Amino acid sequence: ASELNLLQKKILTDGVIKPGNVLKVDSFLNHQIDVPFISELGKEFKNIFAHKKIDKILTIEASGIGIACLTAVYFGVPVVFAKKSAGSNMDTEVYTTEVKSFTHNKVNHVVVSKKYLNQGEHILIMDDFLANGCAVEGLMDLVSQAGGIVEGVGICIEKGFQGGGDALRAKGVDVRSLAIIDKMDAATGTITFR
């Protein structure tokens, strides 16, 4: 087996497997943010997407914002985070899409002001987790409405067994995840990376 990378090692030491195939990484990513560590992940994303023209990074509130910002530093570009709005709205000033959350079993209306996504912009989509892929698909829809170009998708932790990442790759989307979990076992605390 190949050597574990920085994030994979961190997941093994600090991650906690919860029932229902949920991985808690609150100590460094989802509640407390280990800024120097996440910044190293940002540097990795810069290396991965170095050959691409990136004008802007797009993520979704809340947990995507940290990794997006700490990657944007290395690209020298702004971050836009889509907002989860309370209900549907007919606001002509925003692009709107629907994102199903399987984890929380509800639909979020997600919006971005038309001011901050523009035609012809090259967009890197980022998030902390990729599970079923609904959040990423929603963000791709927002970019498409604006006439932008999705250059790639950068994810910290992909839950490979939920299939969202592979479905996107099958459509030709350049999805790069620093850690892909193929299997988690809460009983034994075992995590298997792809």
CB 123 within 8 A of CB 150: yes
Site string for ligand G4P, 131-150 (x = CB under 6 A): xxxxx---------------
In DSSP terms, 175 is beta-bridged to 153
Binder of ligand G4P out of 5, 39, 85, 101 (CB under 6 A): 101
Work out what residue 134 binds among Na ion, ligand G4P, none; the CB cut-off runs from 5 to 8 Å by kind.
ligand G4P
Q: Which stretch binds ligand G4P (CB under 6 A): 23-31, 89-97, 110-118, 148-156?
A: 23-31
What is the 8-class DSSP label of residue 26? Answer: I
23 is in an annotated binding site: yes
**Which residue from 33, 68, 94, 130 is in contact with ligand G4P, where contact means CB under 6 A?**
130
133 annotated to a ligand binding site: yes
Is residue 158 near ligand G4P by the rule CB under 6 A?
A: no
Strands 190-193 and 175-185: antiparallel
Distance between CA 183 and CA 145 in Å, rounded?
Answer: 35
Q: Specify the pairing of strand 149-159 against strand 175-185.
A: parallel
Asked if residue 50 lies in contact with residue 71, where contact means CB atoms within 8 angstroms, the answer is: no
134 is in an annotated binding site: yes
164 binds, among Na ion, ligand G4P, none (CB under 5 to 8 A by kind): ligand G4P
**Residue 137 binding Na ion, by CB under 5 A:** no
Q: Whole-number minimum distance, CB 51 to ligand G4P, in Å? A: 26
132 carries a ligand binding annotation: yes
DSSP 48-112: HTTTS---EEEEETTTHHHHHHHHHHHHT--EEEEEEESS----TTEEEEEEEETTTTEEEEEEE
Comparison of 32 and 47: residue with beta carbon closer to ligand G4P: 32
* Binding stretches for Na ion (CB under 5 A): 63-64, 127-128
